[in-house]
């Protein structure tokens, strides 16, 4: 991982492939995968399972906890790769405050593709009925520092290779690059 990046967040709406791409990034570039969904409190899971969208208050403690998990991984000498929706800029800022030098990989896709993917994953607590709320909350990070925007419909191996190349050479300014 580029020394200017202390950790990485793979972000986007439900169904964009955060877990798959995060795993592929770890396999290609090294690091330790941290599944953000594993840190949701039971109440958040209950709400989402019932088709109730989370609000800022629901996400606040979860984001703080994810920041702590990133800090602990870095302190242990690991290179964390966190999967987290990070839909709003203020959510990303919460994570950036916890971990300076945090990079983001934004997996972009359409609402129709997100719905198709969520419907195809049985047993997950996030129902397809919440896709619209995800897109309503989404504030695109494209253009934010240390952010790479990718087309989430591309093959997983291609996306992992693009992230690996970006991690090795994020550019002079370290600003967003779309691939």
Domains and CATH numbers, the chain: 7-178 (3.40.50.300)
pLDDT tens, 136-152? 999 999 889 999 999 99
Counting every residue written for the chain, the total comes to: 179
Cα–Cα distance measured from residue 105 to residue 142, given in angstroms and rounded to the nearest whole number: 10
Question: For the whole prediction, is pTM greater than 0.85?
Answer: yes
Q: Identify the residue whose tokens are 């877990």.
A: 19
Cα–Cα distance measured from residue 58 to residue 161, given in angstroms and rounded to the nearest whole number: 34
Q: Which of 113, 118, 130, 134 is nearest to 49 (CA)?
A: 130
Q: From residue 151, give the alpha-carbon distance in Å to each of 5, 17, 54, 141.
A: 22, 11, 25, 14
pLDDT tens, 26-55? 998 889 999 998 998 888 888 877 878 788
Exposed / middle / buried, residue 71 (Cβ in 10 Å: 0-12, 13-18, 19+): middle
With H, G, I as helix, E, B as strand and everything else as coil, classify residue 163: helix
pLDDT tens, 150-179? 999 999 999 999 999 998 876 533 434 444
Structure tokens at 61: 């403690």
């Amino acid at each position: 991982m580029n020394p200017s990046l202390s950790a990485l967040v793979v972000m986007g709406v439900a169904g964009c492939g955060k877990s798959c791409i995060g795993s592929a990034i770890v396999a290609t570039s090294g690091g330790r995968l941290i599944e953000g969904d594993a840190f949701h409190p039971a109440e958040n899971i209950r709400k989402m399972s019932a088709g109730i969208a989370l609000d800022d208050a629901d996400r606040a403690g979860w984001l703080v906890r994810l920041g702590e998990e990133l800090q602990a991984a870095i302190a242990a000498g690991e290179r964390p790769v966190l999967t987290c929706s990070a839909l709003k800029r203020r959510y990303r800022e919460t994570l950036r405050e916890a971990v300076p030098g945090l990079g983001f990989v934004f997996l972009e896709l359409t609402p129709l593709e997100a719905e198709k993917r969520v419907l195809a994953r049985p047993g997950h607590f996030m129902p397809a009925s919440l896709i619209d709320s995800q897109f309503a909350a989404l504030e695109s990070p494209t253009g934010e520092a240390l952010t790479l925007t990718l087309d989430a419909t591309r093959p997983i191996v291609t996306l992992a290779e693009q992230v690996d190349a970006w991690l090795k050479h994020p550019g002079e300014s370290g600003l967003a690059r779309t691939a």
